[in-house]
Amino acid sequence: MQIINSALSLRAAIVELEGKQAYEGKLLREQFHIAYNSLKPLNLIKSTFKEAAASDDLKDNIINTSVGLTSGYISKKIFVGFSNSPLKKLLGTVLMFGITNLVSKNTEIIKMLGKKIFRKNGTKPLIKLNGADNNNTNNSPPKASIDDSPKPMK
């Protein structure tokens, strides 16, 4: 701060501080309204859903669980069929939960095994990378294209 020697400089300092106070008060009110709106229950729910939708881990978990539930349900239907036996239905439910748990926790291994099986049978992948050979001298990334040619079946 400056040393104030006269009434005129005192008045100028007061006006300057009042302007600063008005500006900071306006900023404080704006910040209060932003905080108030962000704490409304509807806005809290919206922001939570936006964060959840943006999460890649959540998407992967939902997909893995869905695949596990589907495979468990199919295995139960195959095992139980249209039986009316309560014991068979109970064993089918236990089998369904076991397979669901196994598939949803080991999706990467199952994907890898599926890829190996398709390669063994001689099927070609639907998407192949063009320019993925070792002669790629311009250091550009390979381009993906869909292969529409017929696949050999064994």
Q: Which parts of 39-152 fold into alpha helices (H)?
A: 41-54, 56-80, 86-105, 107-120
pLDDT of residue 126: 56
Do 9 and 64 sit in the same domain of this protein? no
Q: Residue 84: inside a domain, yes or no? A: yes
Per-residue pLDDT, 43:
85
Alpha-carbon distance of 60 to 54, in angstroms, equals 11
The pLDDT value recorded for residue 133 is 46
Task: Provide the domain count of the chain.
Answer: 2
Residue-level pLDDT, tens digit, the chain, 154 residues = 678 788 888 899 999 999 999 999 999 999 999 999 888 888 888 888 888 778 778 777 888 888 888 888 888 888 888 778 888 888 888 888 888 888 878 888 888 887 888 787 666 655 554 544 444 455 555 554 444 455 555 4
CB under 8 Å to 109, separation ≥6 — which residues? none
Domain that holds residue 81: 57-122
The verdict on residue 150 lying in a domain is no
Q: Are residues 94 and 116 in the same domain?
A: yes
Q: Specify the pLDDT at position 151.
A: 54
| Confidence at residue 132, expressed as pLDDT on a 0 to 100 scale | 46
